Structure 1
């Protein structure tokens, strides 16, 4: 699909990559951009339509889908990290919170918007995942589990939405210069570059976008005798 004249709905659009997606969609000539966030007052980008949305709230999800029935591209960007460890006292609580937002959130949004996407010609869904879909590092083990689940979800949704002509694209990225990686001493991709690459992938019909060298290296390692996830 093409971004020009598309109607785009972006979750977590008030900052970071979500805001960059909104900017990139406007620059690409989208007809309308819905910018969703828990607090729509936090949306400070001109030219978008703010939408109040907590992706873990079924009532708000249904209301957003009913209000924004003209959508042709859904961007499931909202995500959280609780920095949980699998054996820590708070690990299960962290995982449940992350799964609610990072896994059940995109699932609920895609189910809610699928009928509109079908009516509007098929369109596309972009799920923001992570290099941590494939590898787990200390300090974010529960987050990694939620993103691995979201990767499987994306692959399943792609299969189930194919019949109605809806494209599903997964975006994988490593370190990115957002609030989530603040204070981390590592090379980071710019959100604007990641958004641009993701939308280029959408327009090319790609099922997967690897937005940085780290994601490409880890993905390549998966079929090797020493995959990155082996540590």
Structure 2
């Protein structure tokens, strides 16, 4: 699908990758871009339409879907990150929170917008997941678990929305240079580059988008004798 002329909604658009998505969509010729955030007053992007959306609040999701009834491109970008060991006493509570934000919200937001997309010709859903959907690293197992759930929900939604001509796209980046990874050392992709590759993939009708070399290496390892998820250290 072409970006030009489309009406898009980006969750978590007030900062980080979501902010870059909103800007890039306008630059690519989108007719309208809804920039969704828990606090729409925090959206400061000329040309977008700020809209209130808390991806963990069903009433907020329903209100956003009712207001943005012209959407034909949904980008589920909002997410959360946390670090800690599975054997920590707080691990279960941390996991529940991450599952709600990184996993369940992909389903609830897409459920709300699926009828909108259908009325508008099908369109597409882009789910920003992670290379950690496929393996985990020390201290990141709860985050990985929530992203793995998001990946499987994405696969299921792809099957169920195929009949209404809605394409569902999974994006699996490694670290991106945003405030979420401020304390992380190691290679990071520029958010501008990630967004460019994703929007190119949308226009090429891809269903899975790898934006960096780490993602390509991990994906390739999954069918090898030494898949990344069997590593005991990274």
* Whole-angstrom CA distance in 1 between matches of 2:89 and 2:35: 36
Alignment of 1:37 onto 2:37: yes
Matched ranges for 1:20-35 at <5 A? 20-35=20-35
Per-residue deviation, 1:82: 2.2
Aligned positions, number = 231
* Whole-angstrom CA distance in 1 between matches of 2:214 and 2:90: 29
2:150 maps to 150
Q: Contact 1:131 / 1:215 at 8 angstroms: preserved in 2?
A: yes
Give ranges in structure 1 of 5+ residues lacking alignment. none
> Which stretch has the larger CA shift, 63-72 or 86-95?
86-95
* Whole-angstrom CA distance in 2 between matches of 1:139 and 1:43: 32
Which deviations, in whole Å up to 9, do the C-alpha atoms of 1:159-183 show, x marking residues without a partner? 0000000000000100110111102
2:8 maps to 8
Give ranges in structure 2 of 5+ residues lacking alignment. none
- CA-based RMSD of the aligned residues comes to 0.7
Q: Contact 1:61 / 1:112 at 8 angstroms: preserved in 2?
A: yes
TM-score after normalising by structure 1: 0.99
Matched ranges for 1:192-231 at <5 A? 192-231=192-231
TM-score after normalising by structure 2: 0.97
Q: Contact 1:84 / 1:95 at 8 angstroms: preserved in 2?
A: no
> Which stretch has the larger CA shift, 123-132 or 75-84?
75-84
Structure 1 residue ranges (4+ consecutive) displaced by more than 6 angstroms after TM superposition: none
* Whole-angstrom CA distance in 1 between matches of 2:176 and 2:135: 16
